[in-house]
Amino acid sequence: MTSRSHNGFLRSSAIAMASALVLLLSEVPLNAQANPNQVALLRWYSANTVTQFPTQTQPFGTAFDGTNIWVANSGSSSLSKYRPSDGALLATYALGHPGQLIAFDGASLWVTDSNSNTVTKIRPNDGAVLFTVTVPGAHGIVYDGKYVWVTANGSVVEKLRVTDGAILVGWFVYCQPIELAFDGSNVWGTCPSSNQVFKQPANGGNFTLQTVGSYPYGIAYDGAYMWVTNAGAGTVSKVHASDMLIAASYTVGSDPFGVAFDGANVWVANGVSSTLTKLRASDGLNLGSIPTPNLPTHLAFDGANIWATHFGANSLGKY
């Protein structure tokens, strides 16, 4: 993990909140966009259906497993499971150590923790720990359809076998990665300390680096482009997945952190602004922003709604 830990980053963001409150007053109201997944929910109207649910301490990573929303509560060393339809808390499971980011492999959950240098595999139905793997500095994580990839200390990305967590190979990428994404063939990652992203072929081969904005952190794939939040610049970079050329850069809120794609739009969690910004993926048009509780961090999409963890408010939002 970089010298700027996620806790330190968010604490500094909280201090800057007071100076950013004026930004909330100037945010443009969110304009609803058609989403075919909303038809089954009878949500074709432009109403704001934002709902908040309490979490345990310092919720950070979040993921959807096809049935439920999961939240890693980094401050209380636990993992919580929520029902998407109504946000009901179904269960909370003790991890025994802080959890940070979550990935789902189609059957099990994987939770990273750079504090204990571990990756833990969890059974979703009862929260049972299946096994724990030692990965120094484990933080970013992604599943590629066959293997789990995890960022580690020393500018390394580890490739883990799903069945037993065995580390099959470690790729050196010449920058310190923090978060990961997969484009169907390549593993991508953000490197805040060098203002770069990397692209590593999943089956081996040489990695490629591209400079983006200041302090890149979150990363998400929309089927053609990678979207990278630049926390130090208040922007999002749209990067061609094929050749890594930067297609465009868009201004969002202060300290953009997490990012997610909903099938048509890209959502960005702005930590200091305490807003979510919605960009149309096709052309980056800013469709507006929604105020959130303190310090939104990571996002997940359940097929109909965007979910956001609010690190500074100990809450989970459904948008």
**Each residue's pLDDT tens digit, 187-239:** 999 999 999 999 999 998 899 999 999 999 999 999 999 999 999 999 999 99
* Residue 117 near residue 100, CB atoms below 8 Å: no
**53 assigned to some structural domain:** yes
pTM: 0.86
- 141 occurs within a structural domain: yes
How far, in Å, are 48, 64, 273, 296 from residue 35 at the CA level? 14, 18, 26, 23
- The dihedral through the CA atoms of 114, 181, 92, 256 has a sign that is positive
Answer whether residue 55 is part of any domain: yes
The 10s digit of each residue's pLDDT in 28-84 is 344 444 455 544 444 443 444 579 999 999 999 999 999 999 999 999 999 999 999
Q: What number of H helices and E strands is found in the chain? A: 2, 28
- Rounded to whole angstroms, the Cα distance separating 300 from 315 reads 14
Residue with tokens 């930067």: 246
- Mapped onto helix, strand or coil, the DSSP state of residue 197 is strand
- Using a pLDDT cut of 70, give the percent of the chain over it: 85
Task: Specify whether the CB–CB gap between 192 and 229 falls below 8 A.
Answer: no
Residues 6+ apart with CB under 8 A from 243: none
Give the rounded percent of residues in the chain with a pLDDT score beyond 90: 84
pLDDT at 42: 44
pLDDT above 90 (res 310): yes
Residue 87's contacts (CB-CB under 8 Å, 6 or more residues apart) are 51, 53, 316, 318
pLDDT exceeds cutoff 90 at 24: no
Cα-Cα-Cα-Cα dihedral sign, residues 31, 22, 308, 121? positive
d(CA 290, CA 305): 14
Positive or negative torsion for Cα 151, 154, 156, 159 = negative
Give residue 49's pLDDT.
56
Q: What is the dihedral of CA 88, 94, 97, 102, to 10 degrees?
A: -40
**The two three-digit tokens of residue 78, written as one number:** 């636990």
Q: What is the pLDDT averaged over residues 149-174?
A: 96
Q: What's the confidence (pLDDT) of residue 14?
A: 38
Beta bridge partners of 115: none
Contact 101, 141 (CB under 8 A): yes
State the CATH number of the domain containing residue 33.
2.130.10.10
The pLDDT value given to residue 222: 98
pLDDT over 80 at 23, yes or no: no
The answer to whether residue 76 is domain-embedded is yes
Q: How many domains does the chain have?
A: 1
Asked whether the predicted pLDDT for residue 27 surpasses 90, the reply is: no
What residue numbers bound the domain in which 71 lies? 6-318
Q: Is the per-residue pLDDT at 5 higher than 60?
A: no
pLDDT of 309 above 70 = yes
Specify if 155 maps to a domain. yes
pLDDT of the residue at 10? 42
Say if 95 falls within a structural domain. Answer: yes
Token pair 């500095």 is at which residue?
Answer: 137
Q: Which of 165, 173, 135 is nearest to 148 (CA)?
A: 165
Would 238 be classed as within a structural domain? Answer: yes
Residues in a beta bridge with 150: 141, 158
In a domain, 1, yes or no: no
Q: Note the Cα 259 to chain centre separation in Å.
A: 6
**Residues forming beta bridges with residue 56, ordered by sequence position:** none
Per-residue pLDDT for 303 more than 50?
yes
Answer whether 278's CB lies under 8 Å from 81's CB.
Answer: no
Q: What token pair was written down for 68? A: 């439920």
Give 245's DSSP letter: -
* Nearest-angstrom CA–CA distance, 100 and 27: 29
Is pLDDT at 154 greater than 70 in this prediction?
Answer: yes
